[in-house]
């Protein structure tokens, strides 16, 4: 559907594998926030029928992901970590434009790009892990996040002209690539 403009290098995967416990904690936080984001979206746009339905489904799906990560964490006796600010999310939100309609489009497309980045990086983790339950989990998560990526683009096409969506998506992809390039690698999704 669309391609990210920054390809995550292997040193990111190495940072993740070097402290996988910390990565799991960050992953759990990301799923929790993703579910919360879906609920916020349906609260802000109660008049958008498809969006409300899709966000209700998404909130549940992301919470299921949280539950699955928690299962892996608890088996290893790892606790949820305190919430910390995600610099990537903070910076990508700076692309939001003011104005009811353009703000709505930007929220949808930023969400699509965040899901796409989740898809890319969870797939890298899935590839790198040795055969087993955790590898299978990350492979499944990557597929699920790819569906979410497509969902947000489909919703954008439903509410906006294709040309406007495609042009804005291109701009946001360029901005997201620049953010990824300058952020340090950690044992974290972003
Ligand atoms: Fe998720
Ligand atoms: Fe997702």
Provide the pLDDT for residue 187.
97
Indicate the DSSP class of residue 77: T
Q: How far is CA 147 from CA 27, 55, 153, in A?
A: 18, 13, 10
SS3 86: coil
Residue 138 has pLDDT above 90, yes or no: yes
pLDDT of amino acid 113: 98
pLDDT value at 115 more than 90: yes
State in Å: Cα 48 to ligand 2 middle: 20
d(CA 174, CA 20): 29
State residue 120's pLDDT score. 98
CA of 30 to the centre of ligand 2 (A): 9
Q: What DSSP state is assigned to residue 46?
A: T
Largest pairwise CA distance in the chain: 49
**Chain segment 121-136, per-residue pLDDT in tens:** 999 999 999 999 999 9
- Distance CA(125)–CA(147), nearest Å, equals 18
Per-residue pLDDT tens over the stretch 60-111: 999 999 999 999 999 999 999 998 999 999 999 999 999 999 999 999 999 9
pLDDT above 90 coverage of the chain, percent: 98
Look up residue 85 and give its DSSP letter.
-
Give residue 189 CA to ligand 1 midpoint distance, Å. Answer: 11
65 alpha carbon to ligand 1 midpoint, in Å? 5
Tens of pLDDT, residues 142-183: 999 999 999 999 999 999 999 999 999 999 999 999 999 999
**Strand, coil or helix: 79:** coil
Residue 1 has pLDDT above 90, yes or no: no
> Is 39:60 a contact under the CB 8 Å cutoff?
no
CA of 151 to the centre of ligand 2 (A): 10
Say how many Å lie between the CA of residue 75 and the centre of ligand 2.
23
């Amino acid at each position: 559907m669309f391609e990210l403009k920054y390809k995550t290098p292997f040193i990111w995967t190495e940072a993740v594998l070097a402290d996988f416990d910390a990565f799991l904690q960050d992953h759990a936080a990301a799923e929790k926030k993703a579910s919360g984001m879906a609920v916020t979206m349906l609260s802000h746009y109660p008049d958008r029928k498809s969006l409300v339905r899709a966000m209700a489904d998404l909130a549940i799906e992301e919470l299921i992901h949280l539950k699955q990560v928690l299962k892996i964490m608890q088996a290893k006796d790892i606790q949820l970590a305190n919430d910390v600010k995600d610099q990537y999310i903070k910076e990508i939100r700076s692309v939001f434009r003011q104005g009811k309609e353009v703000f709505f489009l930007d929220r949808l497309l930023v969400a699509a790009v965040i899901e796409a980045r989740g898809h890319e990086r969870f797939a890298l983790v899935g590839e790198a892990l040795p055969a087993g339950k955790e590898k299978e989990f990350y492979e499944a998560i990557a597929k699920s996040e790819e569906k979410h990526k497509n969902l947000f683009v489909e919703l954008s096409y439903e509410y906006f002209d294709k040309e406007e969506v495609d042009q804005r998506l291109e701009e946001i992809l360029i901005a997201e690539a620049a953010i990824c390039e300058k952020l340090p690698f950690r044992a974290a999704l972003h």
